[in-house]
Structure 1
């Protein structure tokens, strides 16, 4: 940790770039990006964000963190942040969605504080919210859902990690009894397991939507039921980055999409 005599002239801000559409950035996020001299950018950040708002001459470092692909080690990213701040740079750690929703923002803030660096955070629209909004449905509804749960389908792995840290059966029972919408991030690769476990607590005809590339022009989605989740994902060829939404808030959408003879079961 820095001693009181250490003078730190730089600063760091964690900024949420939202789900992809550059127009969904907050005004505060835009100002932070424009002021940055160094930007450490996640893979899921739309290049159009940098093209529109990064200042000329800013150093842009792509630090990929995408499931299933080779990733920049987290410790290396944290060292880059600390070094740049100590060199007097105005650093923005630019993350897809929101820094504090499955973005390791909490870990990065802790490491910066341990180094004697206070870090500001600018929230972004998380993909789970943007995904259902793009379909014209809410996450909560007085008649269908009294709350919402955000959960990762790709939990921490490695030494000491549980084989399946998420108790999907308990979560399903709670969602059913408390009338909750489930929003599952990074769950496409494990959809079969998630489907089987959730069926222990939720009816098979519970409506489900899967949204890939939420908010972007090439967004795709499908609407199905819980008992058909894995098969429909495979049939549609959807992959990450995608969000799985489970719950009765989708009833109207499911009814429209699953009409007999409706070839549009899969959205575009």
Structure 2
């Protein structure tokens, strides 16, 4: 079994998540061995799914499993919300050509503790600018953008985009689009490049981020119920009914 690298509950559709749990149910029914779950826990990197696998199939009581799942869901949602908020600030800053220092302070303020100093952030962001013109630099690493990056790295990447946009114009941002793995940011950057009115852009970003968070929460609820259903040895059809309850 290969290590899962692209499995992400925050970005994947509910149908894909449901299919994952149904496949786990099939594996357990066919193999009838705890080794199946041990292997899945070992190679799963997605944090919420890994948490469910580790707790739901342990000796913990179901009420405790549910409380822990809710706590993990809130923790992940809070972190994702902070990242989405900082992305909104960055995109609107590029739209309005805001002073990068002001943008950085506003992005950094989304976090409860300081992730990186302003001086270090600007030093690293200018280093990325230099690397952009260095033919020997690894452009894939340099331009990579993914919400799964640590918060400090994400702030530096967005500061890099803000500085470049202000210095050389919004059209220079287009080269980043193929390297952005977060659809929300990629779509927002496209709207910035296309010259969407600042007010319209803000409304779009606010509405979409709200829906993303709501959808992510529902997917984690669905994952919890399907996982507990498997723990309680419900049959395949009943597990499927749980999944259908969370989908249109």
Q: What is the TM-score of this pair, normalised by structure 1?
A: 0.28
User: Greater relative contact order: 1 or 2 (C-alpha under 8 angstroms, separation 6 or more)?
Assistant: 2
Higher helix share: 2
